[in-house]
Amino acid sequence: MSTTTAPEAPPPSTRRVFIDPVSRVEGHGKVTLLLDEHNRVQQARLHIVEFRGFESFIVGRPYWEVPVMVQRLCGICPVSHHLAASKAIDVALGIASIPRTAEVMRRLMHYGQIMQSHALHFFHLSSPDLLFGFDSEVTQRNIVGVAAAHPDIARQGVLLRKFGQEVIRLTAGKRVHGTGSVPGGVNRHLTPAERAELAAQVPQMLTWCEQAVDLVAALHAQNPALYDHFGSFRSNWMSIVRPGGDMDLYEGKLRVRDADGRILHDGTDVQDYLGLIEEATEPWSYMKFPYLRALGRGAGWYRVGPLARVQNCDRIPSPRAEAQRQRFLAHGPVHATLAYHWARMIEMLHAMEVIAELLQDDALLGGELTSPLPLQRPARREGVGVIEAPRGTLFHHYVIGDDDLISWCNLIVSTTHNNQAMNEAVRSVAREYFDGRAVTEGLLNHIEVAIRAYDPCLSCATHALGSMPLEVTLVAADGQVQDAVLRHGDGRFERVPT
């Protein structure tokens, strides 16, 4: 296979363009573009500071608190952390299996999370780019603009998201900071009325999900040159799949394909993930750089998330989504960054189909909620929980000490897996749209679109009023700042004196 090699050191004779937070406050992305002597973009470095301190936040806490407290790591996908932590603690405690009711409730919660997060991303973040164009007025290129120009689409997005949130509320117990999943199982059933309330909305939600896939497919068909080309680069792909290769976003074994679609690793137990991947560090980034041990740091990086999952599995085990996947795959191995949106909508449809099926399961209404602790305590209480979160594979790995406190942990979130890939996407886009002189608003727009396609968890952190989300700075090879621009929260583009 061939992938773009990730250089470990800046090439000689480069100068830097960097997109950088003004200060190291949370809520910012920071991109550095390294130019060669011909003013071509040689490297891109996306800096995200949100992931500092996850492990120290968790170590020292009682294990039973962990599934609830880890939800505070992320404002968008707390349920994914909730469930990944629960699964890891189950393993650490030696609980080999959980009751069917717990399995079904957790899955329902998870697919509700997938559905609401994908709806939010597509309708709120990406559809404005796709519907209005990357260079459209920035104050229009948002969900508010969509609501004005396409009120039906905007309303569908809001109500799809609301439905997913209701699934979470009813399975997790609360709208935010739910407590539904506990070590060994869950702590609630659905009532018949709650199930009926959700089930009544299923036909409409399925229709809207399918229409969303058709919409993004139609957008692709209108401008295939853009969609196939923008931010396109080759990479490996990783996700979990069921034994046999079906898509499963809740449970499975690790599979890796190369850029040509060949399977490199398959059936790797998630407990053995450290034998498959290793994490590198770079002095300029708080985020680590996972890569496949077998291929090394340069060629072993990979992508996760919807585009990886849709191509990594052999089949989606729900008919409407599988039919849409086949239409998607007719394009061959897809490497283009914007294809993440199409894959994301296929997954949203799949999630909705799974929800529809799960809601028919009477185990939701009764049955054992938790498995008992094993009679014999494991000699070493250590466990890994892996789940396919909306943005990609999420690892939670814990060791529980004799005092029942977490003594060690390691979290690899989806945005970290995609770290190198996002750099490559930005590099690819910047290389095409940077004019060699200044940071234009057009360049900034395109970089934003490339980053957004990966849905990085920039909002893991705070969103407090006054945040300034993006700064772009051009620095010459001698370290002198030549140009700097800001994108303010209200969409204003401002050139900063240098």
Partner 1 sequence: MSRAALLVLAVGNPSRGDDALGPLLLERLQQSSLPALWDVELLTDFQLQIEHALDLEGRQAVLFVDAGRPGTACGATLTPIHAAPCMLPASHALSPQAVLQVATQLAGRAPPAWQLAIEGAQFALGEGLSPVAEHHLTLALALAQQWLQSQRPSAATPCSVSATPVPAPPPAGAATPPATHQPR
Where do contacts with partner 1 occur on this chain (CB under 8 A)? 25-27, 29, 52-54, 56-57, 69, 72-73, 75-76, 78, 120-121, 123-125, 138-140, 142-145, 147-148, 151, 154-155, 157-158, 161-162, 165, 174-177, 448, 451-452, 456, 458-459, 461-467, 469-470, 487, 489-491
Q: Which residues pair with 236 in a beta bridge?
A: 302
Which residues, 6+ apart, have CB-to-CB distance to 182 below 8 Å? 64, 67, 86, 370
Nearer to partner 1, 259 or 444 (CB): 444
Nearer to partner 1, 27 or 185 (CB): 27
Centre a 10 Å sphere on the Cβ of residue 270 and count the other Cβ atoms it contains.
22
Nearest distance from C-beta of residue 31 to partner 1, angstroms: 10
**Cα-to-chain-centroid distance, residue 222:** 27
Nearest distance from C-beta of residue 419 to partner 1, angstroms: 16
Nearest distance from C-beta of residue 444 to partner 1, angstroms: 9
Q: What are phi and psi of 6, to 5 degrees?
A: -90, 105
- For residues 122 and 320, give the distance between their C-alpha atoms in angstroms, rounded to a whole number: 19
Nearer to partner 1, 71 or 420 (CB): 71
Nearer to partner 1, 74 or 359 (CB): 74
Nearer to partner 1, 1 or 158 (CB): 158
Nearest distance from C-beta of residue 6 to partner 1, angstroms: 23
Nearest distance from C-beta of residue 311 to partner 1, angstroms: 25
H/E segment holding residue 316 = none
Distances 432 to 17, 42, 345, 355 between C-alpha atoms, Å: 14, 11, 27, 42
**Cα-to-chain-centroid distance, residue 258:** 20
- For residues 204 and 160, give the distance between their C-alpha atoms in angstroms, rounded to a whole number: 9
Nearer to partner 1, 26 or 210 (CB): 26
Which residues, 6+ apart, have CB-to-CB distance to 201 below 8 Å? 163
Nearer to partner 1, 159 or 206 (CB): 159
3-state secondary structure of 173: coil
Which residues, 6+ apart, have CB-to-CB distance to 158 below 8 Å? 123
Nearer to partner 1, 40 or 175 (CB): 175
297 in Cβ contact with 305 (< 8 Å): no
Nearer to partner 1, 242 or 488 (CB): 488
How is residue 46 written in tokens? 């996306």
- For residues 181 and 191, give the distance between their C-alpha atoms in angstroms, rounded to a whole number: 17
Nearer to partner 1, 367 or 469 (CB): 469
Distances 299 to 31, 296, 413, 452, 483 between C-alpha atoms, Å: 22, 6, 20, 24, 33
Nearest distance from C-beta of residue 141 to partner 1, angstroms: 8
- For residues 275 and 82, give the distance between their C-alpha atoms in angstroms, rounded to a whole number: 25
Of 304, 300, 312, the C-alpha closest to 413 is: 304
- For residues 361 and 177, give the distance between their C-alpha atoms in angstroms, rounded to a whole number: 25
How is residue 298 written in tokens? 């340069």
- For residues 1 and 175, give the distance between their C-alpha atoms in angstroms, rounded to a whole number: 45
- For residues 459 and 78, give the distance between their C-alpha atoms in angstroms, rounded to a whole number: 11
Nearer to partner 1, 160 or 316 (CB): 160
Nearest distance from C-beta of residue 25 to partner 1, angstroms: 7
Nearest distance from C-beta of residue 396 to partner 1, angstroms: 16
Of 189, 203, 155, 173, the C-alpha closest to 355 is: 203
Nearest distance from C-beta of residue 337 to partner 1, angstroms: 15
Nearest distance from C-beta of residue 489 to partner 1, angstroms: 5
Nearest distance from C-beta of residue 321 to partner 1, angstroms: 24
Nearer to partner 1, 211 or 268 (CB): 211
- For residues 414 and 184, give the distance between their C-alpha atoms in angstroms, rounded to a whole number: 25
Nearest distance from C-beta of residue 464 to partner 1, angstroms: 4
